[in-house]
A = this chain, B = another copy of it.
């Protein structure tokens, strides 16, 4: 699917195909449709980034809160979105040994209690050891730092999801 095809989509098809490039936030894809046509994939990505950046701080926290825990309840109960399931599996989150699983659960809980939103990291760019290390380290940050850091990770995830949809043949998703 090239960018011309993306630009020709009705809003309904656009939201159906791209609605989860930001996890569980179809509102964002639905909003940027107003800004079509996009010259390039990067221009579409920029529109999404700008929309997120223009949200109030509560809205950025809201975006983070739409993300599941890594190796958390949704993974265990099979209720992850397709994209998140593939990303978490790629980083080995579905095959943690018991010690790592306990550590992950404890640190996720500590992070959420401290910040009021979940730890978000681009799983495709990190392996299991790196994720555990960063989760542990980032628990020590200030809230505003973590909010901004989480949003940067959301944007990395978004870029990779966009590439997977637009740079490959996603016609069968329409």
Contacts and interface: CB of A to CB of B under 8 A. Distances in A.
Interface of A: 10-12, 15, 24-35, 51, 54-59, 61-66, 112, 116-117
B58 A56 contact: no
B65 A117 contact: no
Nearest to A28: B62
Contact of A65 (B15, B56, B57): B15
Contacts of A15: 65-66
Nearest to A22: B27
16 contacts: A10-B112, A11-B117, A15-B66, A25-B26, A27-B27, A27-B66, A28-B62, A29-B62, A30-B64, A30-B65, A30-B66, A31-B61, A31-B65, A33-B61, A33-B65, A33-B116
